[in-house]
Amino acid sequence: MNFIDTLKSVDLVLATKEVPLVVGQSGIGKTALAKKLAKENNWSLIVIDGNLLKEGEIGGLRVGCCA
């Protein structure tokens, strides 16, 4: 599926008031798609790059409880 087809699919999902999940290999345009949608809809966008996280972290914050 190319960028335009994915954008159309995401638009269809958004029209149903659901949240789309876009999954794919690094570099295929997932973040570009999110940025385009955010800009077109005047939405705020927070990008979390999972490749930069360490195990047990979300957005640089530690997850879980220590004894």
In the chain, what are the domain boundaries? 3-62
Q: Tens digit of pLDDT for each residue in 9-28?
A: 999 999 999 999 888 888 88
Tokens representing 32 are: 């570009």
pLDDT score of 65: 57
pLDDT score of 61: 58
| DSSP secondary structure, 34-62, as one string | HHHHHHHHT-------GGGPPTTEETTEE
pTM: 0.68
pLDDT beyond 70 at 42: yes
Name the β-bridge partners of 58.
Answer: 61
The chain-wide mean pLDDT, for the chain, equals 83
3-state SS assignment for residue 25: coil
How far apart CA 57 and CA 51 sit, in angstroms, is 11
Q: What is the mean pLDDT of residues 50-62?
A: 65
How far apart CA 14 and CA 39 sit, in angstroms, is 15
